[in-house]
Structure 1
Amino acid sequence: MKTKQEHIKSAPLIASPPKSKVQTYSRYKDSGVEWLGEIPEYWEVSRLKNHINMITGFPFKSEKYTDEGIKLARGINVKEGVLDWGETRCWPKIEDHLMDYLLKDGDILIAMDGSKVGKNFCQIKESDLPILLLQRVARLRPKKTLISNYLYNNIANRNFLLWVEMTKTDPMVPHIAPSDIKNFQIVIPPLQEQTAIANFLDDKTTKIDQAISIKEQQIALLKERKQIMIHKAVTRGLDDSVLLKGSGVEWIGEIPEHWEVKRLKFIFDKIQTGTTPSTSNQKFYDGNIDWYNPKDLNNEVLIESERKLSKLAIEKKEIKFFPKDSVLVVGIGATAGKTSYLVNEGTFNQQITGFHSNTEHNKYYFYLLRNLSEVMLNTASYTTLAILNNEFFKVFNLIKPPLSEQKEISKYIETASQKIDTAITLKQEEIAKLQEYKRSLINSVVTGKVKVC
């Protein structure tokens, strides 16, 4: 197991700017903390607990949540630098025993659980209030020795994330304890410099965030372009001059006059819902046979599953192989309609339905069904939980171009998608570099490696 010092040393290093462009302090001293290195001579190193008042939230009862009232800051709302109110829960009113859990302008929140523990934090603004603090979220309120914005930048500093990586517990559900947050060591400059540093970083990081936002918008436009390209190809073909006819199906609209509309059961030779072997026999789960679940279908193309099954599960007929070159669709739950292409022979659980044709081009139908996922959900009959069962699938109408065109369309989509995906990857790499530059900048400034005032 790595020591704290080894964890810090293993962090990716960022090349320092040319010396001529970096202003430094005149005199430095050893901080006494290996990963902090040298700090300005008159700055001090101190544990966070000496400069903050910290509490964790109140255990509000979920059955008493309301749609209106005082917003509750839950772990799910605390994201990377922002409060996300996509899933808002409220409390009817502020009672006397809840006064300590009312948040104030400048409070720092840290989500204490989850895979992104150490990354999910935010700062409360006046416009956010009033808010009550829920359990599993830590509230840091600076004392007079610490400026809120300077504290925020120390939590945004990559050293804090490394500290969390060293101290968090339970790898299944990562958690950081309040005592570990309090024991995080930061560098404390005079208040006037804290303010200047916070103002400098606010200006610089805002510009970096704006640059990142522009690139994220560009990625969104590229993804939209890809979706439009695929939709046009699978529903109209590649010949813009072809004559069209009504399909007779409202959501399909017009199609090339030589294409057909067929029910799904007449296109695929094999339609099969998966199974889950008995969990009482762990020998079924000790093997190398791919067994896909809805989580695996986050990938468009399926090459290998996260979980595996044994040959015994096949021999005991707990599962059945499904052929390669097939289409898998999630049929139930929050991800119903999600569609992937199965490259190799495999198996899957009962939440997934597989489709395979011996005569049609399965890759074309992968693109078509993936494009129609929302249509399927809007067409299916269900109340609260989305369900796409075999009875629904069999009578669902699909477009049927000639086989030669299916192959041409599939090849065209692959080529065009590759170009768009390459452009998206380049934008993502640019974003990653900007994010790393931001982290490096914050670290250099709050540890005194760079002088900004």
Structure 2
Amino acid sequence: MREGYKKTEIGEIPEEWEVKKFGEIILNYIKGKNPKSLKIIKTNKNDYVYLSAEYMRTKNNIKYCDKNGAIYVDKDDILLLWDGSNAGEIFMGFSGILSSTMAKLLFNENVVEKKFVYYLLRQKEKEVKSTRKGTGIPHVNADSLKNIKIAVPPLPEQQKIAEILSTVDEGIEVCDKKIEKLERYKKGKMQQLLTKGIGHKKFKKSEIGEIPEEWEVVELGNKNYFNIETGGTPETTKKEYWNNGSIFWATPKDLTNKYLIKTERKITEVALQNSNVTIVPEDSIIISTRAPIGLISIAKKSTAFNQGCKALIIKNSSMINSDFLYYAMLTNIKNMQNVGAGSTFKEISKDNLERIKLKLPSIKEQQKIAEILATIDELIELEKQKKEKLEKYKKGLMNDLLTGRKRVKIN
């Protein structure tokens, strides 16, 4: 036993800390209400953001709701997703109208620092989620939630811990804002470069809009430029197809970055020889063509892929730059989604993919455009790496500070 610590039912904690149940610090909760109506545009001063879990996770799909008769919450309120498959998810930092599936937690603020409790709940999120009950729509079990045991330091130490973790969160938020700004800049730059090019004065009309006079329009089905290959899956019950495999085998969930440098699963030479899988060369563009349509990566190694993907093989690298093709395909995601067909889930066929048209400059201009956009991508990646480091650091801090493993100095 370390000096200054004591044994408890939840492990070793500092002597000044107490073991409490959430029910001793959560006084009550207020559920949100079903809105009379939702708007996609704010029309008067009484309209506030409707705080659904989807909006708070993604900041997308914003809707507004009249404040009259609704439950309004401030940024310093702790919100808990009460109903649904992800019940138990914790949020803070939002102001607006509480959605009907959310609850606002009420505390004795003379005993606890709200922000400290927020971090404590985040650390205990798995345990909070394990309280869910219900056969139809699951919901948080209030009694089980209140019985979860926690280690609670004196109020000044809570405040200091919350201050330290908030500082790290501020750093993460700075990274998020920079990433968002760079993504917006990249989107505008792509629109400009992939339609107007670099330094052109003369333009011509084409079947896919105005393009520089020197450019041409090319279909993906043009065999002078591309081959399109479809994917397949080796029989999953045959161990000899998978065990100790060395050949990349991509599925849509592997297509998360610009470059495909690893796949979750690999297949063997035996699988390649005895299955309906195709292997495509380095610098081919792998595209998810169902569930979902439009994830895109450049293969940096010979790669096989499943039937949820198709591959664009560049016939002649002196005519097509793979990085340029990657960016050009990103601007065609909506086109691909629009031609997707299917009742259960949409899929884009090889024939429909071949009909997609590209605006194509000279190889030199392709390279210049790709270099400009790659520079922006590098800046985005740097910010993402900074954010990842901060998140890892924060996770370690939470484990240390919220358990009392490491102590903070109180001024």
TM-score above 0.5: yes
Distance 2:54 2:337 in 1: 29
Distance 2:90 2:111 in 1: 13
1:186 aligned onto 2:151: yes
Find 1:218's aligned residue among 178, 195, 204: 178
Mapping of 1:185-264 within 5 angstroms?
185-187=150-152, 189=154, 213=173, 215-238=175-198, 240=199, 242-250=200-208, 253-264=209-220
Distance 1:182 1:104 in 2: 28
Identify if the C-alpha distance between structure 1 residues 356 and 68 changes in structure 2 by more than 3 Å, giving closer, same or farther: farther
Distance 1:290 1:154 in 2: 45
Q: Which amino acid aligns with 2:152?
A: V
Distance 2:83 2:374 in 1: 42
Partner residue in 1 for 2:14: 38
Mapping of 1:283-432 within 5 angstroms?
283-286=240-243, 287-333=245-291, 335-359=292-316, 360-361=319-320, 362-378=322-338, 385-422=345-382, 425-426=385-386, 428=387, 432=391
Mapping of 1:84-123 within 5 angstroms?
109=80, 120-122=89-91
Superposition deviation, residue 408 in structure 1: 3.5
Question: Retained in 2: the 8 A contact 1:156–1:442?
Answer: no
Q: Which amino acid aligns with 1:288?
A: S
Identify if the C-alpha distance between structure 1 residues 205 and 78 changes in structure 2 by more than 3 Å, giving closer, same or farther: farther
Question: Retained in 1: the 8 A contact 2:79–2:105?
Answer: yes
Distance 1:117 1:311 in 2: 45
Superposition deviation, residue 220 in structure 1: 0.6
1:156 aligned onto 2:118: yes
Structure with the bigger percentage of strand: 2
Mapping of 1:105-144 within 5 angstroms?
109=80, 120-122=89-91, 128=97, 131=100
SS in 1 for 2:228: strand
Unaligned runs of 5+ in 1: 10-27, 58-65, 70-76, 89-102, 134-138, 169-175
Q: Which amino acid aligns with 1:259?
A: W
Partner residue in 2 for 1:95: none
SS in 2 for 1:329: strand
1:279 aligned onto 2:255: no
| Deviation sequence 1:294-330 (CA, Å, 0-9, x none) | 0011121101111111222112133121122101111
Question: Retained in 2: the 8 A contact 1:234–1:368?
Answer: yes
SS in 2 for 1:265: coil
Distance 1:125 1:328 in 2: 39
Q: Which amino acid aligns with 1:307?
A: R
Identify if the C-alpha distance between structure 1 residues 179 and 79 changes in structure 2 by more than 3 Å, giving closer, same or farther: farther
SS in 2 for 1:227: helix
Percentage of pairs with the same residue = 19
Partner residue in 2 for 1:14: none
Identify if the C-alpha distance between structure 1 residues 431 and 44 changes in structure 2 by more than 3 Å, giving closer, same or farther: closer
Question: Retained in 1: the 8 A contact 2:296–2:326?
Answer: yes
Mapping of 1:30-69 within 5 angstroms?
30-32=5-7, 37-40=13-16, 44-48=18-22
Question: Retained in 2: the 8 A contact 1:328–1:355?
Answer: yes
Distance 1:125 1:269 in 2: 49
Identify if the C-alpha distance between structure 1 residues 385 and 230 changes in structure 2 by more than 3 Å, giving closer, same or farther: same
Normalising by the residue count of structure 2, what TM-score does the alignment of the two structures yield?
0.67
Superposition deviation, residue 210 in structure 1: 6.3
Question: Retained in 1: the 8 A contact 2:215–2:359?
Answer: yes
Distance 1:108 1:321 in 2: 49
Q: Which amino acid aligns with 1:376?
A: M
Superposition deviation, residue 367 in structure 1: 1.8
Superposition deviation, residue 129 in structure 1: 5.5
Question: Retained in 2: the 8 A contact 1:328–1:342?
Answer: yes
Identify if the C-alpha distance between structure 1 residues 148 and 301 changes in structure 2 by more than 3 Å, giving closer, same or farther: farther
Structure with the bigger percentage of helix: 1
Q: Which amino acid aligns with 1:156?
A: Y
| Deviation sequence 1:222-271 (CA, Å, 0-9, x none) | 11112323333333333x2x233234224xx3222111112211154321
| Deviation sequence 1:348-382 (CA, Å, 0-9, x none) | 01110101122232332122112321233245566
Distance 1:104 1:374 in 2: 37
Identify if the C-alpha distance between structure 1 residues 429 and 159 changes in structure 2 by more than 3 Å, giving closer, same or farther: same
Superposition deviation, residue 213 in structure 1: 4.2
SS in 2 for 1:46: strand
